[in-house]
Structure 1
Amino acid sequence: MERTPHSGRRTVGLTAGFAAAAAVLCAGALTAPAHADSTLGQLAAAKGLYFGSATDNPHLSDTAYKQILSSEFGQLTVGNTMKWQYTEPSQGRFDYEQADAIVALAEANGQTVRGHTLVWHNQLPDWVAAVPADRLPGVMRDHITDEVTHFRNRVVHWDVVNEAFEEDGSRRQTVFQQKIGNGYIAEAFKAARAADPNVKLYYNDYNIEGVGPKSDAVYEMVKSFKQQGVPIDGVGMQAHLILGQVPATMQRNIQRFADLGVDVAVTELDIRMDLPRTEAKDTQQAGDYSAVVKACLAVSRCVGITVWDFSDRQSWVPSVFPGQGAALPYDENYAKKPAYHAIAAALGGTGGPSPTPGTGTCSASYRVTSQWQGGFTAEVTVRNTSSGPLGGWAVTWTFPDGQRIANLWNGEATTTGSSVRVRNAGYNGALGAGASTSFGFLGSSAGAGRVPSDIACDRP
């Protein structure tokens, strides 16, 4: 895999607690058939950019999650364990074990890695704030040098400095700003370049996606750095967005940064909504994701998009914004949401399940195939019961005992409480007269895995 990044758009590498038996079954079930649609990573690469996901070490113990992470995306961002509190918990004692694990996973799957982040006012160990002002520049340079050197030739982008501006465009009064002054950002970039002459160096921030006071201040800083020869290669727009509020000026803003001679990446994309999810909100969210992707595609120096993890199960949003969530392209059961299909369509894919024409009718039969304490697997068979073609199907039921779908294959699930609706995948919706197909899932249950009494099949 190419490890040395270069200017402009680039081709990135492509990705080709239940019982252990259930975990193996789950991993195998997630393997896409040869005729399935391309992944988001593959679709993006065909357009000359990457599509990636952030991740965190605790999530990797979930087999289903890890399988999707390893196969769907062309790039990974280490969500937490490259931050200062993890990598230098006490002065001069560096620990990269957790970050190395994610980098090694990416390397094993042909994925590129974005380093996040070297200098940030949050997630700092307490000892940093106690460093005297005259010594802090050296401490900062030493930290950057050690970490960038450790990951040299393994990371293609570094978020060198993160979130250094307030909403009004003023400098955030961090320990670095207070003790070092305005020059600390430039010094951080110089130290990172000295440690790795090839990696792309980014400034990263939130609420700079559209034109406004904060993005104006970042723009002026980048412009000044380019004039002064400070080594900056890109700007990361985090894009933690709210449903229906994608900035109308996003494409123009990306373009003006590109016109300064730097790359732009959408680095932490999620689009949160007020809960609960509804069909209307899902539709709006799908349009919002599509708008972000299209804004990036419209500017040649927008090099890639990363979602801030891919499943609502791992999202940071509910813990930070009470009453909000459902911000990501996969739901809590790892089913693809309308947002996923909108992203795929914007990248040139099919845009999701598109049933071929047909007027047939269908039936569905549900059986539990295995069961253990706390979990079970089930298979649902869908049959075309008419003499004409069936162009697509949807199966609905209500779980009788509070069961949950942990992972589903060969279909797309939407759940609301105990109610479940599963639509065909993009490759198994068309059934000839009398033909059948099936989907299955891994489920969790505190009680018996009884068969639902109200299972039904109809056309979507």
Structure 2
Amino acid sequence: MATLATSAFGLLAVGTAPSALAASGTLGQLAAAQGRYFGSATDNSELNDSPYTAILGSEFNSITPANSMKWDAVEPQQGQFNYTNGDAIVSFAQSHNQKVRGHTLVWHSQLPSWVSNLPSSQVQAAMENHIAKEAGHYKGKVYAWDVVNEPFNDDGSYRTDAFYNAMGKDYIATALKAARAADPSAKLYINDYNIDGTGAKADAMYQLASDLKKQGVPLDGIGFQGHLAIQYSVPSNIQQNLQRFADLGLDVAFTELDVRMQLPSDSTKLATQADYYRQVTNACLAVSRCVGMTVWDFTDKYSWVPNTFPGEGAADLYDDNLQIKPAYTAVSNALGGSGGGGGGDTTPPSAPSGLTVTGTTATSVSLKWTASTDNVGVTGYDVYRGSTKVGSATSTSYTDTGLTASTTYSYTVKAKDAAGNTSAASSAVTATTQSSDGGGGNPGTGAAKVQYKNNDTSPTDNQIKPGLRVVNTGSSSLDLSKVTVRYYFTGDSGATTFTASCDYAAIGCGNITQKIVALSSPKAGADHYLELGFTSAAGSLAANANTGDLQIRINKTDWSNFSETDDYSYATNTSYADTTKVTAYVNGTLAGGIEP
């Protein structure tokens, strides 16, 4: 039966029954039982929302002020300090027996203009004074400080801001030393985003942390912000990445965790979100020096995401009405609560039903099935060819590629839930790939190859712009409707959703089809490919003829940048030349080029 928690202001809180007084414990209590904390960011305006504060004060054992301890709030004018808002949040935390993570002493953003306008010779003194005053004011009241926030660009280079421009990278060591002098007992962190998995930025942070430790600079931990999105994969090596920092003798923590999605939300997206939260929680629990997790506010009602990522949101554990979401249950489960994977929910999803074959080519089999149901939420499906897992899907369809012509295969599918349980296998279906001529059409004696030129002047901008030309290398006419072309690339940073368009085609863009396909087994330089096809109106190519210029464009749906230089099909030539790394097929059979 629902029980209502009482807030610090004596008001009953709505929507808290499944969490604050649950028999299994709050997230803070469950985390504490694991030797960790589970916290939330908050802001001063939210402290006037009594139902919200009832949950904030009871569910979590740590609080981070989202904005009230940043430089622009504390020292808007040089030498004029204002701690009012920060003090209010510290007071709230103290009255609820919660620890406080201070955020943040040195950051390039939300920085008053007077700091950036200082002569370089005065920046260090201003920084040291700011740290001494603020960290000194909160001495003994703050468990840990994000001393330096976001020092790196995504490529691993140092961010050029007022501090770096004045002192070089030594500003980081100087800031840490100043913070230690101001509050010897506080844990000192460097905090950044996009370092959750390994990569250039994480490697740069690792090198910095290693160097600082060797130099004896006071550094106690690394904060991994954990701003994730379901349209990008969870980094597969989060646990290993956390561990390598822990092996330096550092604490690690998720400091600003949320998992956004493209709106509107639905049950499938919420289930995927729950699985992401579960994976992150499990990664933290697997690393002994992962001391805790903080969500960047616990409710969608106060999320920063919609204002920063238009069209996205629903990133938090509670919805706009302060009701728990599957993500909450998944975290509770992982921490050992009553709902799931840590020892609670052991109920698997129902087995997928209605598995059918929807199409075959000489090299692929396409499948679809009916969605499974689950008490926690289905997060995805694993597809098996015989006893071998060949891929996963979050929807109820999958295409298995790279098969042999005229061969029979057997398939089953299993469902997964947010608690990590796996269903029984579906009933098996069999499928036979087509013969090499497409199983009914004869490509004649025609064969094809692709010529390529690079139409993009920057390999690191937000688009891929290949110029392609299909050439008939056979001795007879080639029906273009039987031809497909594949350009292979990597999405980078876990990107999974893309758009493709035709900017120009000598045969008419309306006669070209485009689709982006994810490789079931990513290869070096390729986790997706663009597949071009041709309508019947495209006609035929005579022997030795070509299609003429086809100017194609690929973008991520969020318009973030690519790094093309390591892509399988990428080359730098700006005039057409034969390529083996863009493949051509006739009736599904490889006719030209080499697959990765």
The TM-score, its normalising length taken from structure 1, stands at 0.71
Q: Does 1:253 align with 2:253?
A: no
Helix, strand or coil at the partner of 2:280: helix
Q: Does 1:99 align with 2:99?
A: no
Letter in 2 for 1:245: S
Paired residue for 1:329? 317
Q: Deviations over 1:317-347 (max 9, x none)?
A: 0010011100001000000000000000000
The structure showing larger relative contact order (alpha-carbon pairs under 8 Å, at least 6 residues apart) is 1
Corresponding residue to 1:54 among 30, 41, 51 = 41
Helix, strand or coil at the partner of 1:160: strand
Deviating runs (4+, > 4 A) in structure 1?
28-35, 352-356
Question: Is the Cα–Cα contact under 8 Å of residues 211 and 253 in structure 1 kept in the other structure?
Answer: yes
Q: Structure 2: how far apart are the matches of 1:311 and 1:245?
A: 23
Letter in 2 for 1:150: H
Measured after TM superposition, the shift of residue 27 of structure 1 is: 3.3
Question: Is the Cα–Cα contact under 8 Å of residues 188 and 221 in structure 2 kept in the other structure?
Answer: yes
Change beyond 3 A, Cα 1:298–1:129: same
Q: Deviations over 1:385-430 (max 9, x none)?
A: xxxxxxx9xxxxxxxxxxxxxxxxxxxxxxxxxxxxxxxxxxxxxx
Q: 1:260-271, aligned counterparts within 5 Å?
A: 260-271=248-259
Q: Structure 2: how far apart are the matches of 1:24 and 1:103?
A: 19
Corresponding residue to 2:127 among 127, 135, 140 = 140
Paired residue for 1:387? none
Q: Structure 2: how far apart are the matches of 1:235 and 1:268?
A: 12
Q: Does 1:27 align with 2:7?
A: no
Measured after TM superposition, the shift of residue 289 of structure 1 is: 0.3
Question: Is the Cα–Cα contact under 8 Å of residues 255 and 293 in structure 2 kept in the other structure?
Answer: yes
Paired residue for 1:429? none
Helix, strand or coil at the partner of 1:300: coil
Measured after TM superposition, the shift of residue 269 of structure 1 is: 0.1
Q: Structure 2: how far apart are the matches of 1:33 and 1:158?
A: 27
Question: Is the Cα–Cα contact under 8 Å of residues 106 and 112 in structure 1 kept in the other structure?
Answer: yes
Paired residue for 1:183? 170
Q: Structure 2: how far apart are the matches of 1:111 and 1:24?
A: 19
Q: Deviations over 1:207-250 (max 9, x none)?
A: 00000000000000000000000100000000000115211010
Question: Is the Cα–Cα contact under 8 Å of residues 333 and 345 in structure 2 kept in the other structure?
Answer: no
Helix, strand or coil at the partner of 2:177: helix
Paired residue for 2:117? 130
Q: Deviations over 1:256-312 (max 9, x none)?
A: 000000000100000000111111111111111000000000000000000000000
Corresponding residue to 2:299 among 311, 318, 321 = 311
**Higher helix proportion (structure 1 or 2):** 1
Measured after TM superposition, the shift of residue 24 of structure 1 is: 6.2
Q: Deviations over 1:343-399 (max 9, x none)?
A: 00000001279799xxxxxxxxxxxxxxxxxxxxxxxxxxxxxxxxxxx9xxxxxxx
Q: Does 1:294 align with 2:292?
A: no
Q: Deviations over 1:148-170 (max 9, x none)?
A: 00000100110000001001100
Paired residue for 1:400? none
Letter in 2 for 1:311: T
Paired residue for 2:334? 346
Question: Is the Cα–Cα contact under 8 Å of residues 198 and 237 in structure 2 kept in the other structure?
Answer: yes
Letter in 2 for 1:282: L
Letter in 2 for 1:187: T
Letter in 1 for 2:30: L
Q: Structure 2: how far apart are the matches of 1:30 and 1:282?
A: 19
Paired residue for 2:153? 166
Paired residue for 2:272? 284
Paired residue for 2:144? 157
Paired residue for 1:412? none
Measured after TM superposition, the shift of residue 28 of structure 1 is: 7.8
Measured after TM superposition, the shift of residue 182 of structure 1 is: 1.5
Corresponding residue to 1:110 among 97, 112, 118 = 97
Question: Is the Cα–Cα contact under 8 Å of residues 343 and 351 in structure 1 kept in the other structure?
Answer: no
Q: Does 1:275 align with 2:263?
A: yes
Q: Structure 2: how far apart are the matches of 1:158 and 1:345?
A: 29
Question: Is the Cα–Cα contact under 8 Å of residues 123 and 162 in structure 2 kept in the other structure?
Answer: no
Corresponding residue to 1:236 among 223, 242, 263 = 223
Q: Does 1:206 align with 2:182?
A: no
Letter in 1 for 2:295: V
What is the aligned residue count?
A: 336
Paired residue for 2:474? none
Q: Structure 2: how far apart are the matches of 1:328 and 1:253?
A: 24
Gaps of 5+ in 1: 1-15, 17-22, 357-391, 393-460
Q: Structure 2: how far apart are the matches of 1:179 and 1:299?
A: 37
Question: Is the Cα–Cα contact under 8 Å of residues 329 and 339 in structure 1 kept in the other structure?
Answer: yes
Q: Structure 2: how far apart are the matches of 1:109 and 1:344?
A: 21
Measured after TM superposition, the shift of residue 26 of structure 1 is: 3.8
Letter in 1 for 2:313: G
Q: 1:393-408, aligned counterparts within 5 Å?
A: none
Letter in 2 for 1:298: A
Measured after TM superposition, the shift of residue 119 of structure 1 is: 0.2
Q: Structure 1: how far apart are the matches of 2:236 and 2:106?
A: 30
Question: Is the Cα–Cα contact under 8 Å of residues 239 and 269 in structure 1 kept in the other structure?
Answer: yes
Helix, strand or coil at the partner of 1:135: helix
Helix, strand or coil at the partner of 1:256: helix
Letter in 2 for 1:274: Q
Q: Does 1:78 align with 2:69?
A: no
Question: Is the Cα–Cα contact under 8 Å of residues 107 and 149 in structure 2 kept in the other structure?
Answer: yes
Paired residue for 1:217? 204
Q: Structure 2: how far apart are the matches of 1:45 and 1:179?
A: 42
Paired residue for 1:45? 32
Q: Structure 1: how far apart are the matches of 2:56 and 2:111?
A: 28
Helix, strand or coil at the partner of 2:120: coil
Change beyond 3 A, Cα 1:233–1:29: closer
Question: Is the Cα–Cα contact under 8 Å of residues 265 and 305 in structure 1 kept in the other structure?
Answer: yes
Change beyond 3 A, Cα 1:354–1:237: closer
Change beyond 3 A, Cα 1:145–1:247: same
